[in-house]
Amino acid sequence: MKRFSLWVMTLCVSAVGCQSIEQSAAKFSLVSVEDEIDIGKETNAQIRKELPELTDAETTAYISAIGERLVRAASGPKYPYTFSVANYREINAFALPGGPIWLHRGVIHAATNESQVAGVLAHEVAHIAERHAAGQLTKGILANLGLGLLGAFLGNSGGADAAQAAAGLLTNGMFLKFSRDDERDADRVGLQLLRRAGWDGRGMVELFEILQREAQSNPSSVEIFFSSHPAPQDRIEGLRADVERAHGGTRDTTRFQSIKARLLKMPAARTMPAE
């Protein structure tokens, strides 16, 4: 974090202005892998206090096992990936910098086979493996927050405070939105991961089709998803050629169906509070 602060300072002194930094922000990262991991851990601790976590050991072990299999197929830095289930009915999932991934329980209810859930997780693993958070943090620090956060980073000498400051902003949703390019990239890389890890690539497209149907029949269940992701139709178009070649691999397991049945016997998932 200390090194990070110095970089920001050096850049702001040497560049013509912060505008030019903003324009080239997409091409470099001010945030190291270690910074990402620190910020992600801090953010996850804060999010855990606010989200209702599904604590059913069988379900979380199952989701983690799918996640770990995808992680083994991923390239990029060795992040400490973790997989948690939020007890929310809305169809959504999100990745924090450096490893933590959350899946909403609503995804398991909406999915009809295992490859669809694995497809959602593959997309999130891809965001982390491709270091999209580092890019967004860099852009956010330089463009959106400017001097305010810069001051916060420069004003303290320790990494923990800086990580905490960034985590506070992340928890408030300031950086959680990835760019459309990042989303396209996460779909493309996610599909590769899904196939490499042994699932049928069609699962990813099928989940988008479920989202489209839900948008018609049950709009509130997908509102949060659509506020942070491109339209499913665009994503299906983007993947169509790859998916044509993606047949083969696991589509479903008896374990998936038994987890689904198990969740149906539990108290209903909660509705996300309005912003």
* Residue numbers at the binding site for Zn ion (CB under 5 A): 183, 186
* C-alpha–C-alpha distance, residues 178 and 4, integer Å: 21
Q: Which is nearer to Zn ion, 134 or 186 (CB)?
A: 186
Instruction: Dihedral sign for Cα 142, 146, 151, 152, please.
Output: negative
Question: Residue 15 Cβ, how far from Zn ion at the closest point, in Å?
Answer: 30
Q: Which is nearer to Zn ion, 4 or 88 (CB)?
A: 88
**Are the C-beta atoms of 92 and 152 separated by less than 8 Å?**
no
Question: Residue 123 Cβ, how far from Zn ion at the closest point, in Å?
Answer: 6
Could you confirm whether 187 is annotated as catalytic?
A: yes
Which one is catalytic: 124, 130, 200, 214? 124
| CB burial string 241-271: b at 16+ within 10 A, e below | ebbeebeebbbbeeebeebbeebeeeeebbe
- φ, ψ dihedrals at 93, nearest 5°: -155, 150
Nearest to 122 by CA among 161, 66, 79, 179: 66
Question: Residue 61 Cβ, how far from Zn ion at the closest point, in Å?
Answer: 24
Q: Which is nearer to Zn ion, 183 or 206 (CB)?
A: 183
Question: Residue 189 Cβ, how far from Zn ion at the closest point, in Å?
Answer: 11
Q: Which two tokens mark 1?
A: 């974090």
| CB burial string 167-197: b at 16+ within 10 A, e below | bebbbeebbbebeeebbbbbbebbbbbbbbb
* C-alpha–C-alpha distance, residues 36 and 3, integer Å: 13
Question: Residue 147 Cβ, how far from Zn ion at the closest point, in Å?
Answer: 29
Active site residues: 124, 187
